[in-house]
Structure 1
């Protein structure tokens, strides 16, 4: 069967109501992309006719899962990948369904991350925030510590509370793998922390210093104060802002530190750079091992997809994708051979079990196997 025949056969199966959810997803993506395709190309013209028939004759099926596999691909790329998927689905020689079926069943038991964090106080006490009920749970350095109805940590203080303490009293918010958390700092700045991250800050005199130290990834919405800049210190740079929205990814296992500006402006001072650079909305700086920053224009939605409950990939390599999954699902990831450099595209809900994003990988011809090694869940990735 030729590739064109496989496509036509898939459309007929859709019309007959015999498609699987994954096959139906492919057809739905074709339908969304055909308006931008060229007229006069036989296969595209036939697709339009068949899809029109499908959309007008088939009764609405059950709601799709919130997986937009190819939303950010051009229509031509969607068709190219979809053809590859069709070949994989219908060619029993190239498919290894038994391996993927076993892995998918096991992956369904890998739960997604959730709101969890610990707060380390100046005297060494550690408070598990996810175990607390809503309300005030402590008084520290002139601040009331509150867990609000959204489950986030909020600092509320009296105007003169900073005068009671001469030395900085540091708090550290630690997010484990498989966790995420939100907090409102004493100056009103809001921060979202991703898995395997930590934020350290002095809770007294905070309005005067407005400085935090970040390891991992966080998104900030900084309370504007033209007289007192807000600073975020990481291992490779310092970000200085007045009032803005931005994301910093500074995980030690990534290739460098990314700062993505959503709104406002920020100054980036790399540790090894002779001068700072200023970002405009839609720009992203990258500080690699050389310690020198580079700037590029980006679509900021990818950088902050995680705070909206999504994984979003736009030309990421498989090892970049799996590092995100490893942190969120608290698993170990290994590759059978060297990780390939293929680019992956797609969008997947983070609040699902691991089989959902792993299913995405199968569309790019990556196989996975789930096992337990010394009590730790391991996902092995192969593309052969």
Structure 2
């Protein structure tokens, strides 16, 4: 992502900070952050208190449909030739045959057929976050208990550890929710959660951001390891440095790493084989 694009995305999310800040304060704060984060020349500076927010655009699609049915469940089970189960205590990243990505939580599993690129049906038990590759010709369907989530390209989580309840949280895009036997439709916006259980559907707000207020960099490191599965190595003299930052809970890892790098004038290396990030 080039500087201009990254600049635009930071400013868009920056404006989502609490309403208690006036527009003048937010604008002045933004200009201060941009000057510090993208200096004309890279030079050593003493890190100061930053207010920042990062966001990534992942296949945004307005009007995507999500449908809850039961008829197609047996069809999916019959074609589920590939099973991926996370039996560890850490999250597991999976790249599907169509290049969609799944972040699989512990004690969760997914299954899909060998012809997945053409018939994008996947079954989940537990909890997973999906980054769906856009493909209008082949809708992406996630089966969980008696529900079916159908999308063309967006970012969302599906949670269903038992037969009693299924929850869908929307992070990017827009989706339409339907429940079998009901005429009502629900249009979700980013930051809204749809819950269906005991034949009752509801929509409520949830926070898609996580805030760190004057926290040590080691706290951010622990957050990255817990939510992305990468160990973070920070120079000893930076471990007590403080940071205030707001990030999307499903932010792309590289965006977070780049932001920290710019804020503290550090170089970094991401080793995907070792699942390790080294700042220096």
Q: TM-score range by the shorter chain?
A: 0.3 to 0.5
Higher relative CO (Cα under 8 Å, sequence separation at least 6) belongs to 2
Larger gyration radius, structure 1 or structure 2: 1
> By percentage of residues, which structure has more helix?
1
